[in-house]
């Protein structure tokens, strides 16, 4: 006779294995990109050794949604001490249009944030896998600790998810602003 605990434990392990997003088990892709300020960057190298929040968009609507996330994060005093990188994947855009797309994005991003806005034009598949993209119109957000491990992930609007991100900061070893009242 098989014990109920064994069956329940096996079922729980199977369910957990099914729902764990890919980003929790993959390394950050090492794709080279450019910041909106024109500097070359490999995001995996830039964040190595530091906790960071990555906010990615994989379509025009996803880009708008990621902009809302970044604005919300920058407005939250609890998140003031963590690096935030916005990522725009434009591999699917025709080559001749990419310059116009970048210029349009640059106009909407303050100069102080342009070094933290990464434009990628290749390796879309591994990035989609990393963020476990299921809906192009959403923004995808991960909180990474200094060792590169994903400590929190989500996609959708910041209104409902930002409190979860804030709560996960200690897991990432990020310094929580003690003056934050939220």
Helix residue spans in 20-149 (DSSP H): 43-47, 60-74, 95-107, 124-131
Of 49, 64, 167, the C-alpha closest to 108 is 64
Render 137-156 in DSSP notation, one character per residue: TS-EEEEE-TTS-EEEEEES
Domain 47-172 carries which CATH code? 3.40.30.10
pTM of the predicted model, to two decimals? 0.83
What tokens does 146 get? 């200094």
- Backbone phi, then psi, for 55, in 5-degree steps? -125, 115
Of 107, 114, 155, 118, the C-alpha closest to 134 is 155
How high is the mean pLDDT in each 10-residue block of the chain (182 residues)? Answer: 45 39 73 97 96 96 95 92 95 93 94 96 96 95 94 93 92 69 43
Residue ranges covered by each domain of the chain: 47-172
């Amino acid at each position: 006779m098989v014990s109920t605990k064994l069956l329940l434990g096996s079922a729980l392990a199977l369910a957990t294995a099914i729902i764990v997003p890919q980003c929790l088990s993959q390394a950050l892709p090492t794709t080279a990109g450019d910041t909106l300020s024109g500097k070359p960057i490999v995001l995996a190298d830039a964040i190595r050794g530091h906790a960071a929040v990555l906010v990615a968009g994989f379509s025009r609507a996803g880009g708008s949604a990621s902009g809302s996330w970044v604005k919300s994060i920058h407005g939250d005093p609890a998140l003031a001490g963590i690096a935030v990188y916005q990522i725009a994947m434009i591999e699917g855009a025709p080559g001749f249009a990419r310059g116009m797309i970048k210029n349009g994005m640059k106009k909407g991003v303050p100069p102080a944030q342009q070094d933290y806005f990464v434009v990628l034009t290749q390796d879309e598949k591994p990035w989609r896998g990393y963020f476990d993209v299921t809906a192009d119109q959403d923004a995808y957000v991960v909180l990474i600790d200094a060792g590169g491990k994903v400590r929190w992930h989500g996609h959708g609007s910041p209104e409902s998810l930002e409190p979860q991100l804030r709560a996960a900061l200690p897991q990432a070893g990020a310094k929580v602003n003690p003056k934050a009242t939220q």
